[in-house]
Amino acid sequence: MSQAESPDFEQSLKRLDEIVRALEEGDLGLNESLARYEEGVKLLRQSYELLQRAERRIELLSGLDAEGNPVTEPFDDSATFRAEQDGETTTSRRSRRRSAKKTSESEES
């Protein structure tokens, strides 16, 4: 599903709420319950990604221009997204950077 076809954050939350209610009622069969659960997990991941992107955009606000408008810097999150798809987490990237820094510091000594 492309970004244009994916639901926005509010739509995802509404659908997640519907799924939770249906699962809690217990009127669905096993196959339908599993299908709804899978849909819910997918929506949860999409919502989390949307929240992360919004957080990064907020962090990039670097001030105000002469007219009082926020000044932002463009952010290319495709590298982050690709790393996450490859199973690399933020923590592992940080650890790798710290390890590289320690190695270069010890080489300088």
Assigned token pair, 82: 């690709």
Give yes or no for a contact between 72 and 61, defined as CB atoms under 8 angstroms apart: yes
The DSSP string of 70-90 is: EE-----THHHHHHHHTT--H
C-alpha pair distances (Å), 12 with each of 28, 33, 61 = 21, 18, 26
34 bridge partner residues: none
**Right CATH for 1-75 from 3.30.379, 1.20.1070, 1.10.287, 1.20.1410:** 1.10.287
What's residue 24's pLDDT? 95
Residue 1 has pLDDT above 50, yes or no: no
| pLDDT, tens only, 41-94 | 999 999 999 999 888 777 676 566 777 777 766 666 665 555 556 665 544 444
